[in-house]
Amino acid sequence: MDTLLRSAWPVCAAVLGLILGSFYNVCIHRYLTGESIITPPSHCPHCRKRLGVAELIPLFSFLYLRGRCAGCGQPISPRYPLVEALSGLWACLLALNFGLSVPFFVYLAFGGLFIVASFIDLAIFILPDVLTLPGAALALPASVLLLGLPWAEAVAGALAGAGLFWLLHLVYRVVRKREGLGLGDVKLMLVIGALIGVKALPLAILWGSLAALLASVAWLKGHRGSLAQVPIPFGPFLSLGAMAYILYGPAFLDWYWRTILPQ
């Protein structure tokens, strides 16, 4: 029974992640359009057709509808299946890493916050305070009381993460004479720093920055301009770095120290 549960759990978690993903889509869409999260019921943004039961199934409805609304034939934004797939993948990988445990649910919740905030940032270059501020308030007690991180490490993580990006924000404004790094990134780093702790920050920020650099280079292939001019939101990449650290950071560091400094 135990082994059955252990092998079935990642699959169940993936399904849970897909369902949460379609809720995240509602949050993202309604933040961007200013609609309420509770009413009206899910509908096509073009023709207002209410979605049927089959059209509410995450991911599969997009495939089944071949990316178009059944009412008006307008294409459905690829954001919908992407958010659902990412959320499902995140839950599945968390289940493989942490099993059925308290950390699984803590990271699942904060991953949801990162996904919703990132896709809003990608769309309008804003990391909403309504996500980052409650997230920052909850991250500290969650990491200390539920994940067992020492108080000092969590507090130092929040201060160092937010402090570093606040400094970058000031430097950028002075050097380039315009806003680049927003204060939203600073508030997001409060969440990330408190959640993963100060020791995890360098690697998480490094991974996030590498991903941002790769994305910028890819963006430049289709556009003119220099690397400094790429209009790239940083929130998704900081989130990606943090999520990659949560999954693979400790194992990576362990491998790194054993390989670089063999006893």
65 binds Zn ion (CB under 5 A): no
173 binds Zn ion (CB under 5 A): no
Q: Could you tell me the smallest distance in angstroms from the CB atom of residue 43 to Zn ion?
A: 8
- Of 242, 239, 200, 253, the C-alpha closest to 83 is 239
CB of 61 to Zn ion, least distance (A): 13
Is the Cβ of residue 47 or residue 214 nearer to Zn ion in the bound state? 47
Residue 71 or 128 having the CB closest to Zn ion: 71
Beta carbon of residue 69, minimum distance to Zn ion (angstroms, whole number)? 3
CA 122, 126, 128: angle at the middle one, nearest 5? 115
Q: Does 72 bind Zn ion (CB under 5 A)?
A: yes
Tell me if 45 contacts Zn ion by CB under 5 A.
no
Stretch that binds Zn ion, among 72-80, 207-215, 223-231, 235-243 (CB under 5 A): 72-80
Shortest gap between Cβ of 105 and Zn ion (angstroms)? 36
- Between CA 199 and CA 16 the distance in angstroms is 31
Nearest CA to 235 out of 182, 172, 180, 185 is that of 185
Q: Which stretch binds Zn ion (CB under 5 A): 65-73, 92-100, 170-178, 254-262?
A: 65-73
The residue type of 47 is C
Shortest separation between residue 35's beta carbon and Zn ion, angstroms: 16
The three-state secondary structure class of 42 is coil
d(CA 262, CA 155): 32
The least CB distance from residue 223 to Zn ion, in Å, is 31
> How far apart are the C-alpha atoms of 56 and 192, rounded to whole Å?
32
Q: Is 42 in the site for Zn ion (CB under 5 A)?
A: no
CB of 49 or CB of 79, closer to Zn ion: 49
Single out the segment in contact with Zn ion by CB under 5 A; choices: 15-23, 67-75, 98-106, 243-251: 67-75
Residue closer to Zn ion, measured from CB, 30 or 199: 30
- The three state secondary structure string of 190-257 is HHHHHHHCHHHHHHHHHHHHHHHHHHHHHHHHHCCCCHHHCCCCCHHHHHHHHHHHHHHHHHHHHHHH
Question: Using the rule CB under 5 A, is 51 a contact of Zn ion?
Answer: no
- For residues 46 and 176, which CB has a smaller minimum distance to Zn ion in the complex? 46
Strand (E) or helix (H) holding 260 = helix 235-260
Q: What is the DSSP letter of 51?
A: P
Is 176 a binding residue for Zn ion by CB under 5 A? The answer is no
- Among 5, 11, 37, 47, interactor with Zn ion by CB under 5 A: 47
Residue 32: which of 162, 138, 122, 109 has the closest Cα?
Answer: 122
Q: How far apart are the first and last CA of the chain?
A: 41
68 counts as binding Zn ion under rule CB under 5 A: no
Which residues bind to Zn ion, rule: CB under 5 A?
A: 44, 46-47, 49, 69, 71-72
